[in-house]
A and B are shown apart, each in its own frame.
Chain A
């Protein structure tokens, strides 16, 4: 049993070495990532990557130009947000305003776990207490038991 656990631990350390994260610091990859994160403002719910609208093509050009000029991905996003507002970001900013959004899922999980925990505790408490008999029932039981004693 112990050897198996050791074996698993070894695998955990080997596996990350086996593959490499594709870290192409390619301007094109950065542009591609940005297109996916920016909204096409004249389309119904498409990103810059998917849209062929004229404004989308213009914005893609702006993204490429700014990356060429040396802007980082964050800089490009800031540049566009200054002009169009946060609405252009498909991935909401990590800000205080959006705290509910980003922490929401964990919050839901925790509520679920909490409720389950309470439910399980209530269950086991009920089992321990047992069911108590009312006085009438206790008397009846005594009578039956007495009658059955030969």
Chain B
């Protein structure tokens, strides 16, 4: 047993290496945060109406017939523009209900974006100062939440939804939720 004492630094070192190796293999982005609201009810937030569009409120999500997406976006957000195409595809091709939260934006600018492009949102709520979205744990735009038909948050996607994300993350999760109901 005494003979093992000089080996202790080596043993500690190898434990460290195991942790490093795990971190490298996982290739996670250390700055990305998973949502802490997973499996919880969508928080009661109060949003303002955008003229000419249905108002999105949390009641839309409760006791719905199907899962839905809640997408946080702004007119000044460049990745949101890129994501728009994929939101449209999910909304029209896959008939997915998408609600939008307009984040820290000017109403005129938001309306302009919606006029110039197709509208993927079934209903829209406006969060002028961003403080309502803080209740969702939002820390940037765009973010998208997947909500099941009982109004619980099942997944939070950080960043734009692109082809890969749509095919490999969003659609599969939505499919899984719908199968649960059966």
Contacts and interface: CB of A to CB of B under 8 A. Distances in A.
Interface of A: 41-42, 44, 54-55, 58-59, 61-62, 81-85, 87
B131 A83 contact: no
Contacts of A55: 130, 139-140
Given A58-B129, A82-B36, A85-B34, 6 more contacts: A42-B139, A55-B130, A61-B131, A83-B136, A84-B33, A85-B137
B135 A83 contact: yes
A59 B135 CA distance: 11
B104 A83 contact: no
30 contacts: A41-B33, A41-B139, A42-B139, A42-B140, A44-B31, A54-B104, A54-B130, A55-B130, A55-B139, A55-B140, A58-B129, A58-B130, A58-B131, A58-B134, A59-B134, A61-B131, A62-B134, A81-B36, A83-B37, A83-B135, A83-B136, A83-B137, A84-B33, A84-B36, A84-B137, A84-B139, A85-B34, A85-B36, A85-B137, A87-B33
Interface in B27-56: 31, 33-34, 36-37
Interface string B54-96: 0000000000000000000000000000000000000000000
Contacts of A54: 104, 130
A41 B139 CA distance: 7
Interface of B: 31, 33-34, 36-37, 104, 129-131, 134-137, 139-140
A85 B32 CA distance: 12
A83 B34 CA distance: 11
B165 to A, nearest CB: 20
Contacts of A62: 131, 134
A58 B104 CA distance: 10
Contacts of B134: 58-59, 62, 83
A58 B131 CA distance: 7
Contacts of B135: 83
B24 to A, nearest CB: 19
Nearest to B133: A58
A36 B44 CA distance: 29
Contacts of A81: 36
A7 to B, nearest CB: 46
Contacts of A42: 139-140
A42 B137 CA distance: 12
